[in-house]
Amino acid sequence: MAMHEKPLAFRAWYATMAVHGRVLDRVSDELERETGLPAAWFEVLGCLQGTDGRKRMSELASELLLSRGGATRLVARMEEAGHVEREIPRDDRRATFAVITPKGQDALERAMPIAIAAVETHFGSQLEESELQVLAQIMGKVLGVLDPGCAAAVDTAPDAAGVSPPLPPPPS
Amino acid sequence: MAMHEKPLAFRAWYATMAVHGRVLDRVSDELERETGLPAAWFEVLGCLQGTDGRKRMSELASELLLSRGGATRLVARMEEAGHVEREIPRDDRRATFAVITPKGQDALERAMPIAIAAVETHFGSQLEESELQVLAQIMGKVLGVLDPGCAAAVDTAPDAAGVSPPLPPPPS
DNA sequence: CAAGATTGACTGGTCAATCTTG
DNA sequence: CAAGATTGACCAGTCAATCTTG
């Protein structure tokens, strides 16, 4: 059973996986080479930035698709490097928050334009504005079902006012 | 700088990453639970299937986005389990081919419908036919630039005759 | 006892060095 | 010496067990 005989959804998914891996490799390499920041660290900092610079360990884990143990170790390394600090709230000392430090803020601000440029180079520049628009809409729609919380954070809604319009008719 | 202020290409990319991870988690879990086959093994088998059941180790590595060492170890485990065999051609004994065995064929044939169904459940069913069409087209286009060899193997071209039509105008 | 985070043992990958063949 | 694969040392993650606090 060759690929072109498989259902459309599978082919679309498979191509998405293939693109994801290839773009991510290139963008991660470029990000780390230019800024010294591993992609995972960039993700953590960006994720914290969203919510006022602080987030529970377990929230971090679920947003980044890590196990709790994985999050613990990742944050531990970043704390070592001074990009985040751990903070235990007085009212519930079971929880731990990861908090971005000024050094982490700085690193993120330095890295963001590099990341944006790398994504543009290795991904965005291959596509028309209209294609990016449709893609953002499609992925936003799926994310809204799979993980509404994350979807809200990612927020792929069109810039302009109003709700997302439906997709135009298929090509041909 | 909040997400909705970032360039469209970055938002589209970020949403794609988020969806990729979440769908892959669910599909991999389901595949392994239902068939006992880890996603990486499924990938290897599917990849071999494409080219008459055999492929050089280094080709395998680059298609699966693994290092050479990673491919060596993955294939070693699968050989252990009897899903593939290694074969060294007489004419150039430096190369090694991974060859799918009957057991591997069988595992793949069993797993494929499960994988297709899982992708349908966790991804395809959230989208319209027209959206999947457009998505396959977009990803095929990017893949064609990033990795033409892989693009040919994945083959997201529309079923029907003729070249890919251009995208329809953007939604509003 | 439940919620939350951490830790120990382990797995699956990377990179650089090495071995083998052309 | 170059091409191709493997191996050793290591790294970053997982899972299950544990510790701490409510």
Which pLDDT tens digit goes with each residue over B32-49?
A: 999 999 999 999 999 999
- Sign of the Cα pseudo-torsion (A136, A62, B43, B105, in order): negative
B80 touches strand C (CB under 7 A): no
Candidates A153, A155, A151; CA nearest to A51 is A153
Mean pLDDT of chain A: 92
- Sign of the Cα pseudo-torsion (B21, B23, B29, B31, in order): negative
Is residue B166 scored above 90 in pLDDT?
Answer: no
Query: Is the CB of B126 less than 8 angstroms away from the CB of A142?
Result: yes
pLDDT confidence tier of residue A159, bands split at 50, 70 and 90: low
- E strand or H helix at B43: helix B39-50
- What's the whole-model pTM score? 0.91
pLDDT confidence tier of residue B172, bands split at 50, 70 and 90: very low
CB-closest option in A18, A127, A142 to B123? A142
Q: How far apart are CA B109 and CA B37, in angstroms?
A: 12
Please give the full DSSP string across A56-98, using - where no structure is assigned: EHHHHHHHHT--HHHHHHHHHHHHHTTSEEEE--SS-TT--EE
pLDDT confidence tier of residue A172, bands split at 50, 70 and 90: very low
State the pLDDT at residue B154.
85
Query: Is the CB of A142 less than 8 angstroms away from the CB of B23?
Result: yes
DSSP letter (8 states) at residue B99: E
Candidates A37, A118, A108; CA nearest to A74 is A37
Query: Is the CB of B150 less than 8 angstroms away from the CB of A18?
Result: yes
Give Cα B159 distance to the centre of its chain: 19
- Counting one residue from chain A and one from chain B, the pairs whose CB atoms sit within 8 A come to 239
Please state at what angle helix B8-35 crosses helix A102-122, rounded to 10 degrees. 90
User: Per-residue pLDDT tens for A102-112?
Assistant: 999 999 999 99
Residue nearest to nucleotide D8 (CA to C1'): B69
